[in-house]
Amino acid sequence: MADGIRLLLGGDSAGYHYKDAILADAREDPRVASVEDLGVNESDPKAGTYPSVAIAAATKIMAGEADRAILVCGTGIGVSIAANKVKGIRATVAHDSFSVERSILSNDCQILTMGERVIGLELARRLAKEWLGYAFDPSSHSKANVDEIVDYEGAPSD
């Protein structure tokens, strides 16, 4: 991310209005090196389900094709759950500034999710901008916690 964030944006039929607004903001943000719209779009709002969009975003991040994603559905919960099913992904719902900050600084999350039916558009746009400004510090005390999560996830399941 030294040259900027490679960002993915996605949502389902309940989140594409906010996704489109945040996408427009991201295209103007100098911290963003590239942005890819994973859909869905107003022209075909039923073109993808929240699990398909979230899994596509998470898979691209794990493949090294992107650094982060912002996903929007009705509540933010569905896209978060679906993205977290991809091994190695840390996705979270956050609808306030403190949680947005801690999602990166304490947890090194790669995916921020929000709900179009939960918060106002201007707050969603603001939170997305804030989130893009944070970077995880691997020398912080939180590194040990993130490592513990990563180590557990890599362990064989019972």
CATH number where 16 lies: 3.40.1400.10
Give the pLDDT mean for 97-125: 98
27 found inside a domain:
yes
Count of all residues that appear for the chain in the document: 158
62 Cβ contact list (under 8 Å, min separation 6): 86, 87, 88, 89
Q: What is the pLDDT of residue 55?
A: 97
Which token pair is 85? 């099913």
Q: One of 73, 104, 109, 127 is an active-site residue; which one?
A: 73
Number of independent structural domains in the chain: 1
Give the pLDDT mean for 128-144: 96
Q: What is the pLDDT of residue 118?
A: 98
**HSE, side-chain direction, 13 A CA sphere, residue 53:** 33
158 found inside a domain:
no
Q: Which of 28-32, 41-45, 90-94, 120-124 has the lowest mean pLDDT?
A: 41-45
Instruction: Grade residue 43 by pLDDT with cuts at 50, 70 and 90.
Output: confident
Q: What is the pLDDT of residue 86?
A: 97
- Computed over every residue of the chain, the mean pLDDT equals 94
56 in helix, strand or coil? helix
Give the pLDDT mean for 38-45: 84
Q: What is the pLDDT of residue 46?
A: 76
* More confidently predicted of 144 and 45: 144
Which token pair is 53? 């969009």
Which token pair is 126? 């603001």
- 52 pLDDT higher than 70: yes
The residue segments making up the domain with residue 136 are 5-153
73 annotated active-site: yes
